Structures are given as C-alpha cells and as structure tokens.
Amino acid sequence: MATSTPASSPLPQIPADITDALFHHAVDESAIAISITDAAATILYVNKAFCAITGYSAEEVVGRNQSLLSYKSTPKSVYQALWGALTEGRPWTGRLLNRRKDGRPYVAELTVTPLAPQNGGKKHYLGMHWDATDEHRLAQQLTNHKRLIESVISVAPVAVALLNDDGQVVLDNPAYRRIAAELQVAEPAHAVIDALQQSLGETFHTALGQRRPLVNHELRFDSAGSGEARWYACSLSWFEERSTLPDAFYGDHRKDYQLLIMHDISASKRQEEALRLAAMRAMLSEGELNQSLREALSGAIFQLQGPVNLISAAAALQKRRAGQNAASDPLARALADAQTAGERAIATLQAAMPPEPLEPSGPVNLNEVLRDVLMLETDALLSAGITVDWRPAHVLPSVQGDPAALRNLFRQLVGNAIEAMNVRGWNERALYLATAARNGQVEVEVVDTGPGIPEALRLKVFEPFFSTKASRGGARGVGLSLAQEIVNRHRGVLEIDPQHVGGCRLRVSFPANRAVLAAAEANG
C-alpha cells in the first residue's frame, strides 16, 4: 500500500549530470514568464518569455519594482489578497491586469510562490505568469453568447424545449410553460412528438434514424369543454453534446438532444377556419337542399311504388282470367294502362332525383369534423339552451373517408340529439361529445340527456323514413338510417348503448388509418 512522504523527508537529490547551467538554461527557455524578486518586489531576474510577453528587455526591468507592470484598473483588493497570502508564507494564484511596455493591458494568469531563505539568506519570491488574454476573451464571448441565447429564448414568442436522450425536458422557456397550462398536459413536448409520430408515420421514424430535421409541421390540439383549438407549427431537430470529461479527450463520448420549437399559429388558422366555415355553410346549404329533394323524391317513389305494384299484380291476374280475349278486355286494358302510367311516373321521379355527390377519400381527423359540426350547430344549441361538454383526445389517429359525408353523419346525430332535448318542459339539456383511440379504432361518443329511445324502437329507428318525432326539415327527423348508411360506407359501427339511462348514448367507431396505426405499433 502506498504511503505519503513525511513532511520532514529530505528533498530528492539532483542528479550529478544536471548542472546549475542546465537549470538556468531550462528556466530561461521556459514558455512561462518567470521572474524572481526580493522581499520588496524588486526584480532580480526575468527569463525570455517574460520579456516576450511584457515587451521589456531584461536590462529595462532588473532592479526596478514589479509594480511597473501594474495596470491602473486592477482593484487594490487583488493586490491586498496577493500580499496577504505571501506574508503568511502561502503561494497565491489568480488573475490580474498587467501593462506591457507599450501601455497595452493584458490578462495575466499569475502564481507567486515565496522562497524560504537559504542558509540565513534573504527572502525571495518566484513569479510565474502567462498571457491569458485570448482565453479570457473566448470565455467572455462564450458567456455573452450564452446569456444572449438565454435572453432571446426567454422573450421569444415561440415555445422552446430541449429534451435529453431519455425524453426529459432539461431546458424550456416561458412560452413553452404557457402551452403546458393551455393544453393542461404535464409535458407538451411528449404530446407533440406523439402527434408527429402519428401524423407522419414512417417519415418520422426515417427522420429520427437519419437525424434529419422536421420543419414547420402543423399540428392541431383540441381542448376539452369550450376551449378553442390551438394550432402549432412544430420543428424538431437533433444535435450532439460532446463530453467535457478528460477521459473523453480522444474518445467519442457524446449525448443526443432533441430541440423542439413550437410556433403558435392559432390566430391565422382561425381566420382560415372562418373562411372555410363560410364556404362549408354554403356547400352544406346546397347539399341539404339536394338531400331534401332526394328524400322527398325517394319518399314519393316509395309511396307510389306500392300502388303500382298492386296494379301490376291485378293486371297480371286479369290478363290470365281473360285468356285469349285479354287484348280486347276493357278491364285488362285499363289496368295495363294504369301500370304503364305508374311506371312512367316513377321513372320521371327517378330521373329528376339529384345525383349523389362524389365522395373523395382521404385521411380525416374526427376531432376537426366534430369541431366543425359544433360550430355549425352553435345557433341551434344556444337557442335550445343546451350546454356542451366537448372532450376530444389531444392526439387522434386519422380515419380514411370522405370529410363531407362524415360531417353530415355527426351533424345528423347532433341534430337528432338537439331535437330530442328541445321539447317543452324538458329541463336537463346537455350534450356530451368525446373522442378516443382504442385497439386500432377511432371512437366517438354522442350522449344527450333527452328522453332516450325506447327499447322496442332501438332497431326500428334505423329503418328508412321512420321517425320518433316530427321532422324540422332537411335531413333531420328521419331517424338514423342516413347515419347508418354513411357509417357502413366507411366500414364503421354505429350502436345505441342499451345500458345507458337518463338519455341516449350513441357510439360510432371507425378503423384508424392503417399507415398511421402501423407506424404507432412499430414505435410502441
């Protein structure tokens, strides 16, 4: 076991081949400025580095006081600390401002060591210093840059979050903390990264593997209750931090960080939404008119088809009775003419029916669809005195479908719920809407506090032209047949919860977009 050398141990002996001349040569050629002074700080010796740094020759400084290097702006407290340590026999190390021969100042990293008197001789001091001006300048520049960056980040209107390789936020700014309060989530960065994964799918994982930045990807976050939706342009980039430990000097020790920047673009998106909503209202008005015509004509055809079928059966029966005289039988001819006229009328009605709109298919966010429906039904909800409890999932996978048809679906469901509660004397009027992603499905709940649907009618309400209430016009008041048709076209499921009491609960579910779902499962 190693032991420390006692303080009283003798100094190591200088090898015989090292002469005083060699010592002197080594000191004189040292890259560190070296000076020796007496107890009064009078310079007795300086080496070449001392002369190179200060600009003085040895002849100019030997015999003069060390104070000739002092610069006026060096605080007296520095010199007091220096001499206090030397008086107590302790070395002193620190920085002070020195002056060159030409008057220019420089930062000196100085160590002064008291030399004990030898053989009753005088006390001396050994001074060693080097020019630390460049190091000081670089350190100050780094500090200034750091403070500047911190100041900019603090007052920047964009939210900034820095995440380490464990996903922990190690640095953020006030704008980021405001987002946490607005979204009511513990860590918005995690919600944003999850949304980017679900929105971009394989593109996100490719960017992650290649450390390729994602720039200005727009995300929408819906708030529960009556809170407004928020839009953010999100950018994600990666960088490496090299280790500052000595053992990493020749190594490749590093840490990975993710830099997330979120720019709130809600104001501009709301303007776009207002314009889009106005255009959508116009399209819906035209669509509702066409839908009303289709329903009216379908109803007329349905009502006319029955008598025509009876006439057709009677004509066939009379023809068989008349036998070979059917062509001259007055009743048979009358029935045949009536059948022809009826079929012609049905054909005319079918030709007059407006065509079904084209249904473009693409990824649809049901949060956006439901938000549109609530905005379109605002007047109806307010006039009926209905409160809305809107609880969207912060991050919702898209579904594949036609946004106009899906909007029509949920408008039908919400409209039916409004009609169910908007009756004289009905006090509890509340509408609950929620979205969630479960087991590869995107689910929507529509719950009202109306009288509900009797058990005996829970299948019949899905039949065409059946209604439990008077229609208020358009696509409303015609039961759930239209809604069921749209759900079927989107490979979804629409069901009435038989266990719910105190109103009606409808559940609608659709398969989540396969590409997004596959990416989420691969990441999970």
Please say if the pLDDT value at position 444 is more than 90.
yes
Strand residues in 412-477 grouped as ranges (E): 430-438, 441-448
Please say if the pLDDT value at position 311 is more than 80.
yes
Please say if the pLDDT value at position 523 is more than 50.
no
Tokens matching residue 58: 């040895």
Please say if the pLDDT value at position 111 is more than 70.
yes
Tell me which of 87 and 299 has the higher pLDDT. Answer: 87
In this predicted structure, what is the pLDDT of residue 81?
A: 93
What CA–CA distance (Å, rounded) separates 174 from 153? Answer: 9
Determine the average pLDDT of the residues in 460-480.
Answer: 53
Q: pLDDT by residue (tens digit) across 143-202?
A: 898 888 778 878 878 889 888 888 898 888 888 888 888 777 778 888 888 888 877 878
**Mean pLDDT rounded to a whole number for the chain:** 82
Please say if the pLDDT value at position 519 is more than 90.
no
Q: Is 503 left (phi over 0), alpha (psi -120 to 50) or beta?
A: left
Q: pLDDT by residue (tens digit) across 256-298?
A: 888 999 998 888 888 887 777 777 777 666 666 666 676 677 7
Among candidate residues 308, 344, 346, 294, the one with its CA nearest the CA of residue 464: 294
Q: Which of 93-97, 101-105, 520-524 has the least mean pLDDT?
A: 520-524
In this predicted structure, what is the pLDDT of residue 52?
A: 95
Residue 3 confidence class, pLDDT cut points 50, 70, 90: very low
In this predicted structure, what is the pLDDT of residue 339?
A: 82
What CA–CA distance (Å, rounded) separates 411 from 110? Answer: 81
Helix H or strand E segment including 60? helix 58-61
Please say if the pLDDT value at position 359 is more than 90.
no
Q: pLDDT by residue (tens digit) across 62-83?
A: 999 999 999 888 899 999 999 9
In this predicted structure, what is the pLDDT of residue 2?
A: 43
SS3 317: helix
Determine the average pLDDT of the residues in 469-498.
Answer: 71
Determine the average pLDDT of the residues in 91-105.
Answer: 94
What CA–CA distance (Å, rounded) separates 508 from 487? Answer: 8
How far from the centroid of its chain's Cα atoms is residue 150's Cα?
22
Q: pLDDT by residue (tens digit) across 225-254?
A: 556 778 899 999 888 877 777 777 777 777
Please say if the pLDDT value at position 522 is more than 50.
no
Please say if the pLDDT value at position 477 is more than 90.
no
Nearest 10 degrees: Cα torsion 248, 250, 251, 253: 40
In this predicted structure, what is the pLDDT of residue 293?
A: 73
In this predicted structure, what is the pLDDT of residue 282?
A: 72
Helices within 357-402 (DSSP H only) = 366-376, 378-383
Tell me if 372 sits within 8 A of 280, measured CB to CB.
yes
Residues contacting residue 316 through CB under 8 Å, at least 6 positions apart: none
Tell me which of 490 and 182 has the higher pLDDT. Answer: 490
Neighbouring CB atoms inside 10 A of 378's CB total 11
What pTM was estimated for this model as a whole?
Answer: 0.49
Q: pLDDT by residue (tens digit) across 142-157?
A: 889 888 877 887 887 8
Residue 224 confidence class, pLDDT cut points 50, 70, 90: low
Q: Over pLDDT 70: what percentage of the chain?
A: 84
Please tell me the number of Cα atoms within 13 Å of 64 on its side-chain side.
Answer: 13
Tell me which of 523 and 122 has the higher pLDDT. Answer: 122
